[in-house]
Amino acid sequence: MSRLDSFLRRLTAQHVCLGACVRLVETVPGPVWELGLGSGRSYDHLCHLFPARDIQVFEHRVSEDAAGMVPPDQMIIGDMRETLANAAGRPGLAGAGPAVVHADIGSGNDIVDAELANFLGGMLPAVMAPGGVVAADRPLPGKLNPLPLPGGIAAGRYFLLSNPGLH
Ligand SMILES: C[S@@+](CC[C@H](N)C(=O)[O-])C[C@H]1O[C@@H](n2cnc3c(N)ncnc32)[C@H](O)[C@@H]1O
């Protein structure tokens, strides 16, 4: 498979999984958390998918391209290993835990990415809404339950997980 094929398949899987989240959290209140803004491509898509929900973004290096896309009160700048831990008590973010978390955290450094995935898998169940759903670019070890992938998406290309509660 060429790199272009691989890229297209990953983005297709991301697109399909984010779309699946809409139905999965129909009855789950709460905001959307975008973990890793990058170029803002998936953030922009989340805004289309979830027009009625707050979308809070956690990013440590906001790129020039994406700067300005996110309302300042919804942009949490810093290392998410610190900012996520404080998110529940932050003015404007207090209240319901997220119904949807999109974790597209890949940096190309397998060790760093695995450590962050371990951190997220450990902490997200404690802060998410019951029945909330995570779409992730990698497995998140811990208590989140893997969900079946939508049709046409091969195993391992993207990941859907639910917080125990409703699914
Ligand atoms: C693969 S990119 C996200 C791409 C994005 N989904 C898009 O569609 O443009 C991963 C992002 O996560 C951010 N990131 C990685 N580790 C982080 C950390 N510990 N804290 C905050 N942001 C982090 C990186 O700076 C990068 O912008």
Mean pLDDT rounded to a whole number for the chain = 93
Tokens read off for 17: 């999984």
Residue 167 belongs to a domain:
no
In a domain, 78, yes or no: yes
Q: Calculate how far, in angstroms, residue 70's C-alpha sits from the geometric centre of ligand 1.
A: 14
Asked if the structure places residue 80 within a domain, the reply is yes
Atom number of ligand 1 nearest to Cα 61: 25
* 136 confidence band (pLDDT: 50, 70, 90): very high
Q: How many domains does the chain have?
A: 1
Question: In the chain, what percentage of residues exceed pLDDT 70?
Answer: 93
For ligand 1, atom 22, the nearest C-alpha belongs to 59
Is the shortest distance between the CB of 15 and ligand 1 below 6 Å? no
Testing ligand 1's pocket by substitution, the residue of 21, 80, 112 carrying the most ligand atoms inside 8 A of its CB is 80
pLDDT number for residue 153: 94
Report H helices in 1-52. Answer: 3-24, 41-49
pLDDT digits (tens, 9 = 90+) for 41-95: 999 999 999 999 999 999 999 999 898 999 999 999 999 999 998 775 555 555 6
CATH of the domain at 149: 3.40.50.150
- Identify the burial level of 124 via C-beta atoms within 10 angstroms of its C-beta, where 0-12 means exposed, 13-18 middle and 19 or more buried: buried
Task: Determine the structural domain holding residue 112 and report its residue range.
Answer: 3-162
